Amino acid sequence: QKEVEQDPGPLSVPEGAIVSLNCTYSNSAFQYFMWYRQYSRKGPELLMYTYSSGNKEDGRFTAQVDKSSKYISLFIRDSQPSDSATYLCAMSFQGINDMRFGAGTRLTVKP
């Protein structure tokens, strides 16, 4: 079993749809949870960061962490074609040094 599981998709939605991206994990010691966005042929960039359980909202993006279920989600409201990218979840125990990444979900938002 992988430490971090993420459905690779691809996921295709129409413009304006609500997108839900998810990851599950096996190690309950993870404390920090991140979502990175990676455009084609580019490096990943940090989108959202949360510590422990709870929700965090930033504009059209909401990150949720449910430690009891070992499940994290990223919601994108009013999705735009510019949101088309691969979204990688990541989590760590203490900080950057021990981050584990999911395989990434490829999202396409069609105009």
Partner 1 sequence: NAGVMQNPRHLVRRRGQEARLRCSPMKGHSHVYWYRQLPEEGLKFMVYLQKENIIDESGMPKERFSAEFPKEGPSILRIQQVVRGDSAAYFCASSRRDSNTGELFFGEGSRLTVL
Residues engaged in binding partner 1 (CB under 8 A): 4, 6, 8, 32, 34, 41-46, 49, 88, 90, 92, 94-97, 99-104
Query: Distance between CA atoms of 81 and 7, rounded to whole angstroms?
Result: 21
C-beta closer to partner 1: residue 89 or 109:
89
51 vs 77, which CB is nearer to partner 1?
51
Compute the least distance from the CB of residue 111 to partner 1, in Å. 26
Q: Are 107 and 85 in contact (CB under 8 A)?
A: yes
Annotate 42-69 with b (16+ C-beta within 10 A) or e (fewer). Answer: eebeebbebeeeeeeeeeebbbbbeeee
**CB of 7 or CB of 62, closer to partner 1:** 7
Least Cβ distance, residue 18 to partner 1 (angstroms): 25
H-only helix segments in the chain: none
